[in-house]
Amino acid sequence: MDMLMKNAVVVTQDDDRRVLHHTAILIKGDRIAAVGPTREIEHANPQVPVYDCTGKAVIPGFINSHTHTILTVLRGTVEDWDGNAVYGYMSPVSYTMSAEERTVMAVLGVLEGIRCGTTMFVDPFRHVTSYAEGMARTGARLLLSENCADVNTLKIRRGDYSEDREFGQTFLDRTVEGIERFHNKHGGRLQIQIAAHATDNCSPWMLDQLTALARKHNMPRTVHLAQSIEEVRQVRARWNCTPAEFLDHHGWAAPDVIGAHWTYCTEGDIDILAEKGVHFVHCPANSSRRGPHPVRAGYIRDRGVNVCFGSDNMTEDLFHTMKIGLIVHRGSYGLGIRPQPEAIFDGMNRNGAIAIGRLDDLGTIEAGKKADLAIVNLRNPSLTPVINLVGNLVHYGHPGVVESTICDGEWLMRGGKVLTIDEQALVKEAQLVTRRVWERMLAQNPDIPPPRPWQWIET
Ligand SMILES: [Zn+2]
């Protein structure tokens, strides 16, 4: 669309991190055509429809650099369960779900994200070809991937880590299908990347296959890394090295790789990953459910690693991610005020764009970039008084301060109303789908217990 947003406070996130006042943003089609003084830009573009941003700030749309939207289906269940939820619940549940059910839950995640000001979702999961199209219809920017493994992740909960190449091939087939059917669709808003699930469930053969696909299609790669003690143990037992060393030995410590978690990385591991240019996507809120995440975030930062953030499982609330992220990163330095909120905020936009090699296009508000924006209501009591805007957003922001979200030059939410999803119908459907999926999964897998006693609430 063509539109002139006027009288805004603009948090550009450009190289100088300028925060501009009384500023206009001219959108032409899917891109930002100009950013400058309202009077000048309005005068030069008298025909363009105007959106008055008086009392509002415009920030780059959040990039959620690591999420699994479908796992909203587990919300309110495994957060308080003491076990490995990845293999205990997250793997089996995705096999239990139908294409329609996956789509409903993925769209629920996107809906929550849009309400939070998120415009881009980096979402590795399973059976992506069954829901990519439905998810793309939300209008959000997507980087999806099939989370490949050639150890059968349905058997790991019973202690069986044996390699299963046939199982692995089904992931590779779906990756290829995903690339052929969905890469660069919806005007480039929907893209595919390459994902190895984790270091304990991918063999060197699988890593090599995936690297070949990434090279062939010029796509970034992602992997979960040193997420659990058990993962570290398995990699040591099978390959006699750490997860980071395992990735390095097989060409996965490289600047086109985004690694999630790094929880049990040693300083030596971090040295390798930093030197090879691997990007760190941290999911501090989800990783701190059992107490503050013990990752060496300070050491990672001091080694110059590019740090971006994701929400990971069961939530899309990136304000929550920022708050917990600030606490965890400060805690890793010892008590103090390093890093400052600006460094956390960088991880929500420009660093996410850097991680996927797209800073030329995304992550800041500058002429020529994609129009992926969120509008924040500065007259919200939670943000008042506004003295340090970025500090306020990190310390006190919440999804309720976001009034509009724009992606690829189109409104996803305008003045608090989501335009691309029938919100009430979707939320209702998601509640029904969740109950159906849980009942089916427990019936199909008698060894999986309900994680805690529950009571279904009618909505
Ligand atoms: Zn994850």
Q: How far is the CA of 254 from the centre of ligand 1 (A)?
A: 19
Collect residues with CB below 5 Å from ion ligand 1.
312
Q: pLDDT digit string (tens) for 129-183?
A: 999 999 999 999 999 999 999 999 989 898 899 999 999 999 999 999 999 999 9
Q: Which residues of 340-353 are buried (b: 16+ CB within 10 A; e: fewer)?
A: ebebbbbbbbbbbb
Mark whether 338 and 371 lie in a shared domain.
no
Going from the Cα of 314 to the center of ligand 1, the distance in angstroms, rounded, reads 11
pLDDT category at 459 given cuts 50, 70, 90 is: confident
- Considering the domain architecture, whether residues 119 and 157 belong to the same structural domain is answered as yes
Contacts by 125-129, CB closer than 8 A, 24 or more apart: 125/68, 125/69, 125/70, 125/71, 125/94, 126/91, 126/94, 126/95, 126/171, 126/174, 127/94, 127/97, 127/99, 127/102, 127/174, 128/174, 128/178, 128/182, 128/192, 129/174, 129/177, 129/178, 129/181, 129/182
Q: How many whole angstroms from 195 Cα to the centroid of ligand 1?
A: 11
Q: Does 310 map to a domain?
A: yes
Domain extent at residue 398:
3-61+366-418
Distance 39 CA to ligand 1 centre (A): 46
Domain end, chosen from 355, 374, 391, is at 355
The Å distance, Cα 169 to ligand 1 centre, comes to 21
Compute, in angstroms, the gap from residue 48 CA to the centroid of ligand 1: 42
**43 plus 179 within the same structural domain:** no
Average pLDDT, the chain: 96
**Residues 6 or more apart whose Cβ sits within 8 Å of residue 395:** 323, 326, 341
Indicate if 281 and 383 belong to the same structural domain: no
Residue 56 CA to ligand 1 center (angstroms) comes to 33
**Cα 190 to averaged position of ligand 1 atoms, centre (Å):** 20
Averaged pLDDT for residues 285-308: 96
Gap from CA of 280 to ligand 1 centroid (Å): 12
Residues 34 and 133 in one domain: no
Percent of the chain topping pLDDT 90: 93
Q: How far is the CA of 262 from the centre of ligand 1 (A)?
A: 11
Cα-to-centroid distance, 44 and ligand 1 (Å): 47
Q: What is the model's pLDDT at position 33?
A: 98
In a domain, 434, yes or no: no
Which pLDDT score is estimated for 310? 98
Closest CA to 253 of 281, 268, 238, 273: 273
What pLDDT is recorded for position 453?
Answer: 76
Cα-based torsion angle of the residue sequence 269, 271, 275, 281 in order, rounded to the nearest 10 degrees: 60
Last residue of a domain, one of 331, 355, 379: 355
Residues 351 and 389 in one domain: no
Give tens-digit pLDDT for 208-247: 999 999 999 999 999 999 999 999 999 999 999 999 999 9
Distance 377 CA to ligand 1 centre (A): 31
Q: What mean pLDDT do residues 197-207 have?
A: 97
Does 322 reside within a domain? yes
Question: How many whole angstroms from 217 Cα to the centroid of ligand 1?
Answer: 23
Query: CA–CA separation, 247 vs 424, rounded Å?
Result: 44
* CA–centroid distance, residue 19 to ligand 1 (Å): 33
**CATH number of the domain within which 82 lies:** 3.20.20.140
Tell me the CATH number at 380: 2.30.40.10
Residue 316 reports pLDDT greater than 90 = yes
Distance 194 CA to ligand 1 centre (A): 14
Distance 279 CA to ligand 1 centre (A): 15
Residue ranges in 333-409 assigned as alpha helix (H):
341-346, 350-355, 389-396
Query: How many whole angstroms from 223 Cα to the centroid of ligand 1?
Result: 8
Ligand 1 centroid from CA 404, angstroms = 27
> pLDDT over 70 for what percent of the chain?
100
259 alpha carbon – ligand 1 mean position (Å): 10
Measured in angstroms, how far is the CA atom of residue 130 from the centroid of ligand 1?
A: 19
Q: Are residues 141 and 207 in the same domain?
A: yes
For residues 252 and 210, membership in a common domain is answered with: yes
Q: Spell out a b/e string for 31-47, using b for 16 or more CB atoms within 10 Å of the CB, else e.
A: bbbbbbebeebbeebee
Is it the case that residue 68 has pLDDT exceeding 80? yes
Same domain, 56 and 70: no
Report how far residue 199's alpha carbon sits from residue 222's, in angstroms, rounded to the nearest whole number.
11
220 shares a domain with 124: yes
Last residue of a domain, one of 313, 334, 355: 355
Neighbour tally for 163: CB within 10 Å: 16
Establish if 186 belongs to a structural domain. yes
Which of 278, 288, 386 has the alpha carbon at shortest distance from 56? Answer: 386
What's the total number of domains in the chain?
2
pLDDT value of position 273:
98
Same domain, 217 and 244: yes
* Cα–ligand 1 centroid distance for 257 (angstroms): 14
Does any domain span residue 28?
yes
Instruction: Give the model's confidence band at 270: pLDDT under 50 very low, under 70 low, under 90 confident, else very high.
Output: very high
Query: Residue 440: which of 128, 126, 16, 73 has the closest Cα?
Result: 73
Structure tokens at 296: 């060496």
> Rounded mean pLDDT of 14-18?
98
Lowest average pLDDT, out of 36-40, 66-70, 83-87, 391-395, goes to: 83-87
| Pair (243, 227) in one structural domain | yes
Q: Does 424 reside within a domain?
A: no
Mean pLDDT of all residues in 390-415: 98
Convert the pLDDT of each residue in 349-364 to its tens digit.
Answer: 999 999 999 999 999 9
Q: How far is the CA of 275 from the centre of ligand 1 (A)?
A: 23
> What average pLDDT score do residues 64-68 get?
98
pTM of the model: 0.97
Query: For residue 209, how far is its CA from the centre of ligand 1 (angstroms)?
Result: 21
